Structures are given as C-alpha cells and as structure tokens.
C-alpha cells in the first residue's frame, strides 16, 4: 500500500492534484477535515469527543486525528494506496503516522511563491447557492459571474482579502516547514514548482507515481 503525502500552502492546487491522483490511480484521498465532518455527522463516539473539544474552542487532539486516519486507511476500499491532504501538519503528527500502515511513502511539496498564491486566491469566486468554485483567471464560468451549474450569482469569499491570505501563508509556513524539512532529511521529498499550470504540475506528479 502506497502512501502519498501532499504538502502545499493554500492556493498551491493541493486539493485539485489530490483529486486527480485519486481518479487516475484509484488511491483514496484522505482529508482530516472530511474525516472530522463525517464523525461529527454520524454522532459516533469519536464525533462526540470532537464536538466537546470544538465547543470549548480547542483543537482536536492528535491522538484522535491519528485514530481516524488509521481507521480510514484500514477500511476495505483503501487497498492500493492513499493520498494524505493537509496531514501531517506537525512533527507530532509525523510521529503518530508511524502506526498507520504503508509499504512505500512518497512526499510531494507543491512550492508556490506568495504573489502567485495571493493572485490565485483573489481570483476565486464561488456560487452562493450550490458551492461550485470558479476562477476568474484559470476557470471562467460560461456567463460572467453566473454559476454554470445552477445559474445563481458568483461571489468572492469575505475572508479572501490580501491581508488575510498573507496571514494564512505565515501560519502555514510556521506550522508546516519543520515537517517538510523532516521529509527532506528523510530523502523522499519531491519538490515541484506549483506556480506552473495545473496540467503541467499534474504530469510531473503522475510521473513520480508511475
Ligand atoms: Zn451554483
């Protein structure tokens, strides 16, 4: 079973590439955000614990996240491999990951400069009604400011301002750079220039995984 870890700041195209890997290689994409949502919706034992932490404004503890990832990896539809999106974020989580099964591990860092990230995120618009996301540079809707899928108006997220995006990048760097350095030291980190267009980046990732 192959484990692929994708690193990249917000706006690096990490989510899009994770989806492409899932489609092409039939690996399962595992995002901790999704796992949390599912457990909370199911009102499972883990879900209830998570709600307790978030109601107190606390982060979900590492052990719970590792337990969820481990359970997910061992479910029957995850056979060939899995892609971790947004995880591990800290060195503690890297340590926790050692109990999660994998025969082979490939870490990919999608490197993008700050200007590109800001430009990409500022050009994102989404549908108020169905949540579809478009991009005024790279993924235009057929009609200006109108959702292709449902015809509702497209708007920009309020928290997508240059200042907030820059803050998010700083937080991301402080948190994740030690983890990226860890994988670099381990010798299995592939660094790609993710300021290139989505398809160019995708063909490089595909080459790494074949
Ligand atoms: Zn829509």
Q: Examine the residue annotation and report whether 14 is marked as an active-site residue of this protein.
A: yes
pLDDT digits (tens, 9 = 90+) for 95-147: 999 999 999 999 999 999 999 999 988 999 999 899 888 988 888 999 999 99
Query: 37: Cβ–Cβ under 8 A, 6 or more apart, which residues?
Result: none
pLDDT at site 6: 95
**139 Cα: distance to centroid of ligand 1 (angstroms):** 14
Chain mean pLDDT for the chain: 92
- For the full predicted model, state whether its pTM sits above 0.85: no
pLDDT at site 158: 75
pLDDT at site 210: 86
Indicate whether 59 pLDDT > 90.
no
Residues of the chain above pLDDT 90, percent: 70
Whole-number Å distance between alpha carbons of 40 and 167: 29
Structure tokens at 104: 């082979």
pLDDT at site 157: 80
Q: Examine the residue annotation and report whether 168 is marked as an active-site residue of this protein.
A: yes
pLDDT at site 16: 87
pLDDT at site 26: 81
**140 Cα: distance to centroid of ligand 1 (angstroms):** 13
Secondary structure, 3-state, the chain: CEEEEEEECCCCCHHHHHHHHHHHHCCEEEEHHHHHHHHHHHCCHHHHHHHHHHHCCCCCCHHHHHHHHHHHHCCCCCCCEEEEECCCCCHHHHHHHCCCCCCEEEEEEEECCHHHHHHHHHCEEEECCCCCEEECCCECCCCCCECCCCCCEEECCCCCCHHHHHHHHHHHHHHHHHHHHHHHHHCCEEEEECCCCHHHHHHHHHHHHC
pLDDT at site 128: 87
The one catalytic residue among 37, 43, 157, 166: 157
Q: Examine the residue annotation and report whether 89 is marked as an active-site residue of this protein.
A: yes
| Ion ligand 1 contact residues with beta carbon within 5 A | 127, 129-130, 132, 147, 149-150, 152
The one catalytic residue among 2, 28, 89, 184: 89
**88 Cα: distance to centroid of ligand 1 (angstroms):** 32
Domains belonging to the chain, first-starting first, are 2-112+176-209 (3.40.50.300)
């Amino acid at each position: 079973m192959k484990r692929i870890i994708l690193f990249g700041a917000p706006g690096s195209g990490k989510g899009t590439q994770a989806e492409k890997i899932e489609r092409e290689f039939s690996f399962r994409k595992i995002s901790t955000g999704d796992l949390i949502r599912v457990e909370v919706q199911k009102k499972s034992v883990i879900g209830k614990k998570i709600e307790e932490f978030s109601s107190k404004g606390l982060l979900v503890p590492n052990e719970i996240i590792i337990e969820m990832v481990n359970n997910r990896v061992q479910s029957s539809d995850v056979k060939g491999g899995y892609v971790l999106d947004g995880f591990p974020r800290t060195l503690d989580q890297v340590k926790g990951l050692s109990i999660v099964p994998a025969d082979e591990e490939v870490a990919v860092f999608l490197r993008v400069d700050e200007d590109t990230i800001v430009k990409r995120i500022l050009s994102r618009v989404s549908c108020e009604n169905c949540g579809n996301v478009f991009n005024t540079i790279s993924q235009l809707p057929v009609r200006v400011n109108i959702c292709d899928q449902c015809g509702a108006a497209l708007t920009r997220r309020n928290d997508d301002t240059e200042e907030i995006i820059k803050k998010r990048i700083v937080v991301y760097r402080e948190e994740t750079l030690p983890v990226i350095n860890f994988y670099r030291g381990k010798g299995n980190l592939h660094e790609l220039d993710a300021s290139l267009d989505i398809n160019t980046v995708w063909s490089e990732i595909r080459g790494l995984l074949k």
